[in-house]
Chains A and B, each alone.
Chain A
Amino acid sequence: METYKITFSMNILVVCVLFFLLFPVLVVVAISFSSAEFLSFPPPGLSLRWYQEIFSSLDWVASFWITIKVGALTAFFSVLVGVPAAFAIIRHNFFGKDMFNALILSALITPPIIKAMSIYLFYVQLGLNNTILGLALAHTVSGIPFVVINTAASLKNFDLNLERAACVHGAHPMQAILKITLPVVSAGVMVGAVFAFMQSAQELIVSIFVLGTVDRPLSVKLWEGVQVSTDPSIAAASTVLIGVALLSFIMVALIKRRDGSLAP
C-alpha cells in the first residue's frame, strides 16, 4: 500500500486545498467576535455583542426552535420508513427492485427548486403550507436516502448467525430482531438520523416555499440576513450553526468509533 510516496509538492497542494476549504469558515467565526459594526477582517477588536443580539432576539430564537422541531420530525419520519426499507433491500430479493432503486434515486437527485415548487402547489390543496409537519414531511423525502444507505450498510455487515443464535436459544424471530438485530444495527440508524436532521436544518429552497413567511426556520432567516444586513450578527448566527454542525460531526464520529462496523 506504500507504492506511492506522497511527494512534497503533492502535500503542498493538499494543504492549499484544505486551507481553501476551511479558511473562509474560520473567517466567519472570527468576524462573529468582532467589535466593529461592519464586516472587516481581521476584526479590530473582540466582543460578544453579536451573540448577545441574536440570543436575545425573539425572532432568531423562534427560528432556532422551528429548525429543531422540523429537523427532529424529519429524522423521526426518515427512520420510521427508512429502517424497514433497508431490511427489505438487504434481506429480500424482490420483484421490482429496480423500480424501487429508481424511487430512492429520485429522492436523492431531484433539484431542490423542483421539489420546492411542486410540494408547495401540492400543499395548497392539503392546507399543509406554513406548518411544521408539512415542512418535515417534505424534508423527509430528502432525508430518507441517508437513513436507508447507512442502515443498509450496517445491516450488510450484520452477522446473520446472531439472529440464528437468538432463535435457537428460544427467541421468536420477531424478538430476535427487536432484541438483537436492531440494537446491533443501531449505529447505522443513528448516523442516518443525524444526517437526515442536518440535511433538514440546512435546507433552504423548500423551506422558503413551505414555511418561509411568519414562522421560518433558521436557514430562511439566515438567508434573509445574508442578503440584507451588513453587520456581523449574521456571522454570529452562522457560527452557531457551525457549532451545531461540529457537534453532530463529533457525535457521528463517536457513534462510528463505538460501533466499529461502519466505514468512514
Chain B
Amino acid sequence: MLSMDTDTPHPEENSGASVRLDALRKSFGFVRAVNDVSLDIPAGSFVSFLGPSGSGKTTTLNLLAGFITPEAGEILFDGAPISHQPTHKRGIGMVFQSYALFPHMTVFDNVAFPLKMRSEMEKSQMRKRVAETLAMVQLAGYQDRYPRQLSGGQQQRVAMARALVAQPRLLLMDEPLGALDKKLRDQMQIEIKNIHRRVGSTFVYVTHDQNEALTMSDFIVVMRDGAIAQAGTPQELYDFPADEFVADFLGGANLIKGRIVSGDAKRQQIVLDDGQNVVAPTTGMPLQAGTTASLFLRPEGVSLVPLERSKISAEVVEIVYMGSAFRVIASVSQQVISAMVSREDIAGLQIGSKVGFNWEEERSRVFASEAGAP
C-alpha cells in the first residue's frame, strides 16, 4: 500500500475527502488498464496522476468518477466503499478537457446545474452561490452569456465553477488545460492552485505534462502500464526517482548507461564503455555484476571541475544559452551528459575541450536499465 506523507497544507475548511484505492483492477478485453493499484490520498490534498497515454491514469480517473466499475478492488471515500455507487450519487465535481459545457444553457444555468440536481436550494440562495463561485474563477457578471460566446479560457473557468459550486468533497480534473495556449495554461495553473487552497476539497488532477504536475501538486503519482511507478511529493520524485522511467519522465535527466562492476545494497560501481568508473547509491535491490545499468544525474546537480577532481571526463559538444544559465552538453562514451552551469563556469570553455564533471554522490543513483542501446 503506497501512502504519501501527510504533510498536507491545512486550508481553513478541510472539506475534502480522503480517497483510498485498494488493489484496484480494471481490464478492457485483454488489456489490463489498471493493474492492482493501491494508494492513499490524504483529505484536502492536490494529487496529480502523471504518465504517458496508456498508463492507466485516465482509467483510474474514470473509476473514481464512476463511469466504469472495477473488476476487483475497492475505492473508498472517507472510508466508505463507493466503487459500485452510481456516478450521480458520489458527490464529486469534474472538469473535462473539452469543458463539456451545456451549449443550450447560459453560464448561470451551467454553474447552477449541480445545485439544482443535488440540493433543494432556494432560488436566491442559488443565485448568491453561483455569483460567489463565478467570482472565485474571475468571471463575475458572466451569468447570462452562452458558452459559445466565451473564449477557451473562459469556458474552462465556467467548467471549474460548475465543478466547485456544490462544494464537492473530491474534484476530478482530466487534463483540463490541454486545449489552452501556453501563456493561458501557466496562468490557469496558478489560479487552480489558489482555488484549491481556498476551497480545501481533494483535487485529483490527471495530466501528461510533468511541468504542470511539478508546479501544482502536493503529491504526484507517476503511472506506467497500469501500475504506480512512484508516488510522493514533487521533490521526492524529482530528486530521488525510483527508476529510470520516473527519472526520465519528470524533467530532464542524465541517464548514462554502463555495466555493473560490483556493489551492495548501499552503493554500486558502474563502468562506462570508455572505461571510466563511477560509484553511486543503489536503488532497490543491488544489481548483478555485468548487468546494464544507468547512472542518474540531474543536470542542475552537475558542475564543471578540473579533470583531476572530476568523477567523469567528457568532451564538450555544445554550449546552449538558456537565459539564466547555460547548458553544457558533452559526449562521453558515445552518450551525452549535460550540466546546467552559470556564466562564470563556462568562461574559456570551448567546443571540443575535455572537461571534468562532478556532483554530490548522494544526488546520483544507479538504475536498472531498460532495453535499448546506449
Contacts and interface: CB of A to CB of B under 8 A. Distances in A.
* A/B: CB atoms within 8 Å of each other: yes
Contacts, number: 64
A257 to B, nearest CB: 13
Contact of A165 (B66, B90, B100, B166): B100
B102 A170 contact: no
B126 interface: no
Interface stretch (A42-50, A74-82, A120-128, A172-180): A172-180
Interface stretch (B34-42, B91-99, B217-225, B334-342): B91-99
A169 B96 CA distance: 12
Contact of A173 (B88, B90, B166): B88
A162 B316 CA distance: 54
A10 interface: no
B88 A184 contact: no
Interface string B266-290: 0000000000000000000000000
A168 B102 contact: no
- Interface secondary structure of A, over-half rule: helix
Contacts of B86: 167, 172-173
Contacts of B163: 169
B14 interface: no
Contact of A161 (B66, B93, B96, B172): B96
A168 B103 contact: no
B51 interface: no
B104 interface: yes
Nearest to B98: A161
Given A167-B66, A168-B66, A170-B88, 17 more contacts: A161-B96, A161-B98, A162-B100, A164-B65, A167-B88, A168-B65, A168-B88, A168-B172, A169-B93, A169-B118, A170-B113, A170-B114, A170-B117, A171-B117, A172-B86, A173-B86, A180-B102
18 contacts: A164-B65, A164-B87, A165-B94, A166-B113, A167-B87, A168-B65, A168-B90, A168-B93, A168-B94, A169-B93, A169-B94, A169-B118, A169-B166, A170-B88, A170-B166, A171-B117, A172-B86, A183-B104
Interface of B: 65-67, 86-88, 90, 92-94, 96, 98, 100-104, 113-114, 117-118, 162-163, 166, 172
